[in-house]
Structure 1
Amino acid sequence: MNDVLTRLKRPLLYVMSTGYIVAGVLHFVVSELYVQIVPPIFPAALLLVYLSGLAEIAVGIGLLLDRTRQYAAWATIALLIAIFPANIYMATHGVVIDGLPGGGDPSSIVRWGRLPLQGVLILWAFWYTRPPAISNSK
């Protein structure tokens, strides 16, 4: 099992990195969708959406570079924690997202499923916080 995980680590890094870059770009392309899930206690929702989009793009790129991968992985964890209030707000306040393709009312499964998904994403990022193992084979 460990060999399988070792072989998947690199391809999954590209999946994760691409996911964050795409999500970050979407913060600018469809920012109005993201603004709707920012809890109203936070000021300047649009600015926060743009900042989180920039952060997602930055960690996505940082994960691809060997020199910055560990830092980017830790930054990804911090980002996921920082955006968690939006997921809680969405789950607990029945947010209807105007302009969402297919209707703006995410199901309860989607609303509540995002919460444990954050934990999975944090663990996934944590996988890249350690330096790569150095092989002693000759």
Structure 2
Amino acid sequence: MTTHRTPTTRAGDGLARTIGRVALGGFLAFAGTGHLTFAREEFVAQVPSWVPLDTDLVVVGSGVVEIALGTALVVAPRRYRPWVGATAAAFFVAVFPGNVAQYVERNDGFGLDTDAKRLARLPFQGVLVLWALWSTGAWRAWRQRRR
């Protein structure tokens, strides 16, 4: 089987994306498991006070979503990976207000026990969004559709 490479694709790029996608999937599945078990209280600190739902329901629900997304990132067939990556990126955007709330409301959790630590964490949500889009080819697929 031959692989078509565009001039901007480097050898090894596919392996790097695969490693990135599987690592992100593992990270999400592990975090989702933490929502349901050993880190449940830590995740409660990230639920904004203004969310009109039961805090534990939000933690459990987001944990289930993280496990599902993590699993999909690892096992989804190639043709579905861009969709899974875009969905994971949207999830990271959707939970970002929780990170902001943790900073604004000064909630401790996961060792984020100072304003400086909570603030320093915020840009990493963007890294997760980009990681999801890059590792699944979602960004590339979107660019190709626009042509």
- CA distance in 1 between partners of 2:130 and 2:96 (Å): 15
Structure with the bigger RCO (C-alpha within 8 Å, sep 6+) is 2
Q: Higher mean Cα deviation, 88-97 or 48-57? A: 88-97
Q: Which position in structure 2 is the counterpart of 1:39? A: 48
What is the 5 A alignment of 1:70-109? 70-97=82-109, 106-109=113-116
Q: 1:105 deviation in Å?
A: 5.2
Q: Which amino acid in structure 2 is aligned with residue 126 of structure 1?
A: L
C-alpha distance after superposition, 1:38-75 (max 9, x if no partner)? 11111211111111111111111111222532222111
1:62–1:68 contact (8 Å) kept in structure 2: no
- CA distance in 1 between partners of 2:119 and 2:49 (Å): 19
How many residues are aligned here? 126
Identity of aligned residues (%): 29
C-alpha distance after superposition, 1:105-126 (max 9, x if no partner)? 5233431122110111101111
**Cα root mean square deviation, aligned:** 2.1
Q: Which amino acid in structure 1 is aligned with residue 46 of structure 2?
A: I
Q: Which position in structure 2 is the counterpart of 1:57? A: 67
Structure-2 change in CA distance of 1:113 and 1:69 (3 Å): same
Unpaired runs of 5+ residues, structure 2, are 1-8, 142-147
Secondary structure, counterpart of 1:68 in structure 2: helix
2:46–2:107 contact (8 Å) kept in structure 1: yes
C-alpha distance after superposition, 1:58-96 (max 9, x if no partner)? 111111222532222111111111111110011222212
Scaled by the length of structure 2, the TM-score of the pair is 0.75
Secondary structure, counterpart of 1:83 in structure 2: helix
Scaled by the length of structure 1, the TM-score of the pair is 0.80
Q: Which position in structure 2 is the counterpart of 1:118? A: 125
Unpaired runs of 5+ residues, structure 1, are 132-138
Could you tell me which of 14, 27, 44 is aligned with 1:19? Answer: 27
Secondary structure, counterpart of 2:122 in structure 1: helix
